[in-house]
Amino acid sequence: MRILLLHSSSDLYGASKIFLQTVKIFLKRGHHCIVVLSSDGYLVEELKSLGVQVEIINLGILRKKYFSPTGLLNRISKWYRANFLLQKIIVEEKIDLVYSNTAAVLIGGWVVYFVNKKNLNLKKVQHIWHIHEIIEKPKFVQLILKWCMRYRANKILVVSKAVQKNWDKGILLYNGIEPMIPSTKINYREQFLIPKEAIVIGMAARIHYWKGQSYFLQIAKAMEKLPVYFIISGDPFPGYEYLLANMQAYINENDLSDRVKYIGFERDMDCFYRSIDILVLPSQQPDPLPTVVLEAMQYGLPVVATEQGGALEMIVEGETGIFIPLNDVAAATKKITSILPETIRKQMGKQGQQRVETYFSAAAFEKNLIEAVET
DSSP output for 293-340: HHHHHHTT--EEEES-TTHHHH--BTTTEEEE-TT-HHHHHHHHHHT-
The pLDDT, as a whole number, for residue 232 is 98
Q: Side chain identity at 252, as an amino acid letter?
A: N
Cβ atoms < 10 Å from Cβ of 196? 6
Q: What confidence tens digit (pLDDT) does each residue in 105-131 have? A: 999 999 999 999 988 766 899 999 999
Cβ atoms < 10 Å from Cβ of 127? 24
The pLDDT, as a whole number, for residue 46 is 97
Burial of residue 226 (CB within 10 Å: 0-12, 13-18, 19+) is middle
The pLDDT, as a whole number, for residue 41 is 95
CA separation for the pair 175, 162 (Å, rounded): 13
The pLDDT, as a whole number, for residue 137 is 86
Question: Which three-class secondary structure state does DSSP give residue 256?
Answer: coil
Strand partners, 157: 130, 171
Residue of 141, 144, 132 lying closest to 103 (CA atoms): 132
pLDDT in tens, the chain (375 residues): 999 999 999 999 999 999 999 999 999 999 999 999 999 999 999 999 999 999 999 999 988 888 888 888 888 899 999 999 999 999 999 999 999 999 999 999 999 999 999 887 668 999 999 999 999 888 988 999 999 999 999 999 999 999 999 999 999 999 998 888 899 999 999 999 999 999 999 999 999 999 999 999 999 999 999 999 999 999 998 889 999 999 999 999 999 999 999 999 999 999 999 999 999 999 999 999 999 999 999 999 999 999 999 999 999 999 999 999 999 999 999 999 999 999 999 999 999 999 999 999 999 999 999 999 998
CA separation for the pair 149, 144 (Å, rounded): 9
Residue of 5, 2, 286, 291 lying closest to 129 (CA atoms): 5
Residue of 267, 276, 262 lying closest to 304 (CA atoms): 276
Question: Which three-class secondary structure state does DSSP give residue 265?
Answer: coil
Residue of 6, 2, 112 lying closest to 54 (CA atoms): 6
Which DSSP symbol is given to 64?
G
Residue of 167, 229, 163 lying closest to 194 (CA atoms): 229
Query: Buried b vs exposed e over 54-71: b needs ≥16 C-beta within 10 Å?
Result: beebbbbbbebebeeeee
Helix segments in the chain, DSSP class H: 14-28, 42-49, 69-92, 107-117, 139-151, 161-167, 188-191, 213-222, 241-253, 269-274, 291-298, 311-314, 329-338, 342-359, 362-374
Lay out the sheet containing 199-204: strands in order across: 260-264, 228-233, 199-204, 278-281, 303-306, 321-324
* H/E stretch holding 101: strand 97-101
Residue of 282, 267, 270 lying closest to 328 (CA atoms): 282
Which DSSP symbol is given to 168?
T
The pLDDT, as a whole number, for residue 121 is 66
In sequence order, the 6+-apart residues with CB closer than 8 A to the CB of 45 are: none
The pLDDT, as a whole number, for residue 271 is 96
Read off φ and ψ for residue 262, nearest 5 degrees: -100, 125
The pLDDT, as a whole number, for residue 75 is 87
Residue of 285, 198, 266, 224 lying closest to 17 (CA atoms): 266
Read off φ and ψ for residue 233, nearest 5 degrees: -115, 140
CA separation for the pair 278, 344 (Å, rounded): 11
Domains of the chain as residue ranges with CATH: 2-176+361-374 (3.40.50.2000), 188-359 (3.40.50.2000)
